[in-house]
Amino acid sequence: MPHLVKQQMLNLHYLALLQAKAFLKSGGAVLSCLGARVPLEVFLSLGKLAGYTPSILTFGWKVQGDPELIRDYAHNQSSGFGPFYFYRAEVLQEVFAKLDPAYSGRNALEIERSLQTRRMDPVTAYAAFEHGERIAHTVAVLQCELE
């Protein structure tokens, strides 16, 4: 298992990408919807490591409704995994409100870079949640085409 995959806790997704090859014809693709709590470059690297040509099909966001999950990410990051990222929901709502899905996919890396200064690590995100704030994370649809 590649170190990057283990570090970002994407082991099962990596294995799924490897196994999917047995079901794809030449030129086929796998689409994966992933909570982008890690940098998008990690998802693109994941696809490359699994032997695909990866791209981001669309990029959006969702509210993180389960506070225990935020706490689990904080624990995992303190154990040496990650880093993982969250945002205040109103930040993502504002950024994505004016973007259509096709545009957000083509420009996902640029959008992510524009959000860097507004990221929260999971410890900060959990504390903000406990103080009544809505916490969210980005979501990406990763397209992995057979090479």
Indicate the pairing of strand 52-63 with strand 29-36.
unpaired
Quote the pLDDT of residue 65. 84
pLDDT < 50 positions in the chain? none
The whole-model pTM stands at 0.91
Quote the pLDDT of residue 31. 96
Quote the pLDDT of residue 60. 96
Quote the pLDDT of residue 28. 93
Helices (H) and strands (E) in the chain, counts: 8, 4
Helices (H), 8-146: 11-20, 40-49, 67-78, 89-96, 101-106, 108-115, 122-130
What's the number of domains the chain is made of?
Answer: 1
Query: For residue 117, what are the domain limits?
Result: 3-146
Quote the pLDDT of residue 33. 93
Quote the pLDDT of residue 103. 95
Distance in angstroms (rounded) separating the CA atoms of residues 123 and 73: 8
